[in-house]
Every structure is written in C-alpha cells, then in structure tokens.
Structure 1
Amino acid sequence: MRVWAVANQKGGVGKTTTSIALAGLLADAGKRVLLVDLDPHGSMTSYFGHDPDSLEHGVFDLFQHQGEVPSGLPRQLLVKTSHERIHLLPASTVLATLERQSPGQSGLGLVVAKALAQLWQDFDHAIIDSPPLLGVLMVNALAASQHLVIPVQTEFLAVKGLERMVSTLAMINRSRRQALPYTIVPTLFDRRTQASMSTLRLLRSSYPEHLWPAYVPVDTRLRDASRAGQVPSQFDGGSRGVLAYRALLKHLLGQQAAQVA
C-alpha cells in the first residue's frame, strides 16, 4: 500500500477535493483505495453522505487505547462510499476533543500508522485528509505517509499557510529516519485574476523543486460532484478539474516510481 497525506495549515485550499479526486481516479483504474478523514470538521465524511455529528464510530475510536490499536478495529470502522473500490475511515466531530485529551497520553503520534499496518494488504493506496492545524492529528498523518501533497490556493494568504506547512514538515523530518517528500499543488487557479497569476509566479520562483508545474483551475463541476456525493471523475470525467487531477495523479505516480527505484 502506498500512503499519501494531503495537508496544509490553512483551510479552504482544496484538501478534501484533492484527496477525493485522486482517490476516484485511482479507483477508476482498478486500485483499491482507502480514504482516511482526520479533520474534525468531517468534510470528507459528509461528502459521502455520513453525518460527522451523529456518527457513533470512526477514527476517534483508534485513539482510545493508550496509543495501541486493537487487532481488527480498523477494519470494523470502515464504511462504504459511492465508489465500489473506495472505503472510508470516517471522522466524527468528537475528534475535536482529542487535542485536550492527548497531553495525558503518550504514543498517540503513531496511531494511524499502526491502524494502516493492519489494512496493508487490503488496499493499494491510502489517502489521508488532514486538519488545517498542527496537532496530534496532523502529526499522525505525516508520520503515516510516504508522500505529502500540499494544496495551495493561488492567493497570497494561502502562501503564508504553505510557509508554515513547510516549516512544520522540517520539524517532523527531524524525527523521521527519512525525509518526507512533498509536492505543492496550486489549486483554485483563475487566470482572470491578478492574484492567481502573481501567486503562481511566486510559487514557481520560491519552490521550483517541489512544485507541480501545472495547476487545478476553478471548476464548478467539482462543487457539483460534492453536492452529488460522487467522486469527480464519475460525476463528470471530462471536466477541467478532473483533467487537471488526472495530470497530477500521473505526476505523483511518476514521483512514487522514482522513489521506489
């Protein structure tokens, strides 16, 4: 199983859309895909028709065993999605209380990695949707992943979030045996606006080694797919957004192959 985390320390940059779009394209290609929702807002969980406010079981259950994950628990927590090859570890809003509980517990940083280890043979890919703040949940996402995808909305404030994210990654890498590779993905690009154009130029000059050279454009069909609860590639496979995510997936798989080699 290959594990990707999607994270940025700013909300509204397209993390959930990116996670689901990539998962859908992988599943369309015959891959078994696991989505992990680590955001207490539960946007990914809601996307597939599950209510984070009333969910009885989910990712939160994994953190209730002093840093250990009971055998079989991750499989029991899986729920189905609108795509037959995608399963979800859902989030409930109670995840928001985890940060208050965590100071009294040790070993919580590797809970998700331990859960994925139990599902390793069941899936080809896992994609983790992270919360937009540094804490136990983001640390879990980064610790469990083999590649980090950082969506960055093409506007100035999102670049500030990227700077914080890169700083956080540098801190996390000090405790990893191998630095976590990452790809920056410009999102919500609108070539009609000066903000998008100037931000894209700034990203290209500041992060040339890590930036995906293309971008995901503003596309209302992505929002329509969310409203329908379908992965974007099944809702409208020819939309501009899906074509962009298809190109991004090809880029990420190429990087993955190079890392394995």
Structure 2
Amino acid sequence: MAEPFQPFEPHGHGGPRIREIPLRMVLPNLITVLAICAGLSGIRLAFEHRFETAVTMVLIAAFLDGIDGRIARMLKATSRFGAQMDSLADIVNFGVAPALVLYAFLLDRAGSPGWIAALLFAIACGLRLARFNVLDEEEHPVGWQSEYFVGVPAPAGAVVVMLPIYLVFIGAIAPDRTLGFLSSVFTVLVAFLLVSRLPVYSGKKIRIPGDRVLPLILGVAFFILLLVTYPWQTLSISALAYMIFLPLSARAYSRRAKIEEEKATMPDAQ
C-alpha cells in the first residue's frame, strides 16, 4: 500500500542553504526591506495626522529604495531574487505611499476626485515601473539615446507629486478645499508624466573633470546642509526646478535627434 504522503523534490531544489549566502548578498535586500518599512510607516503616520514625520518617512523610503540596487552592484551582490524584490518594493515606496500620504493630507478635501487622482498616480507608477523592466530586458538603446529615460522616473515622480505638501509646510499656501482640487489636478499631471514618452535626461554618462570634483563635492554638501536645515523650502525649490527641467530636457533631445538624423543622411546627399 502506497504511503499517503509521497516524498517530493522541493521546487528549485531548495535553493542555497542559509549558511551558504554571504553577508554582502543579504545587505541590499535588507535595505529594500527597510525601505518598505519606512514607506508603510509613513502611511500609518499620515492617518495619525503626523504629516511632517510621514512625509519624511516616505522620502527616506524613496531614498533607500533608490540606492539598494546601486549598493548591490557595488558589492557585486546582484541576484534575480533581489531584482524581483526591489521591483515589488518600488510600487509601494514610489506609488502607494506618496499617493496615500498626499490623500490623507490634501486630496481628501476634494472628495472623490482626490481619491481618483491618488489611485491614478499609484497605477501610473506601477505602469511606469513595469515598462522600465520590460524595456530594460528587451531594448538596449545605444549611443546618445541611452542617456535619456522614457517618461519621468518613478523616484522623481514620488518626490515631485508631494510638492503641494511642501508648500503648505512652509506656509506658502493654505490647505483648503480649493487646494485639494488643484492638488488633484497636479497629481494627475504627474501621473501622466510618469507614463508619457517624454525624454528625460538621466545624467548617467556625465563625466566630471578632475579639476571640478572638489567644487562638486562642496556643492553636494551644501545641498545636503540646506536639506537638513530647511527641508521643505529646499524640496519645494528642487521640485519646481525639476518641473522646469523637463521641457528643457525634451527640447535638448529633439535638437540632438535632429543633429544625429542630419549626420546619418549626409553620406546619401553626397
């Protein structure tokens, strides 16, 4: 008589044993988990009406989620598991957390349109991340086109969409029903920018001349000091500057595309 429970081979042959995984492989995943904890904590704090701490936690989550992949590459600790976990964390930290914090603080004043705007932003962020993963796997742009993102990156969208909150914190605007409707429109606009085909310069291939490294370090240190001392003013100016940068980036892309097209057709004209 056959036994009721037959032995079976674990899926994936069980994977590596815990003791066989080096610590450097665990560190990036640990940072991803901390980012998720920060994002979800921000949502809780928002519904407890501790909004400044909530926004801070969401920004910390976005920062941690933005560096975990870079740390993994620096440590040569990239893995398929880490990549999948990072993708799942992105939708929480860049989409769900900012949308819910913004809704709890401002968008709920607009009623159902505010909730629709929050949903659209979270969905747009998920679509943006899915498109990024697909393009990263299937398409590998070469040359100058690889210097541009397709649409606004999710981390930038998460920081920019909370601009109305920053402005309220510094006392520039009052959190009333009118601002709730205006913030809903702004949230939908940012959601559209996430899923658009807008070329956004990434700066990944910028090379800093040796004689400008020290001034650059000084400038970064100055920005961090401003961020720590005047966080909401600095974030407001940064978000506004990024919105101004977007049409300039698209214009630069169009000019570069025209120049490259003329170079490609020049031999035919001869």
Q: Report the TM-score, using the length of structure 2 for normalisation.
A: 0.26
Q: Report the TM-score, using the length of structure 1 for normalisation.
A: 0.26
Query: Which protein, 1 or 2, shows the higher relative CO under an 8 Å CA cutoff with sep ≥ 6?
Result: 1
Larger Rg: 2
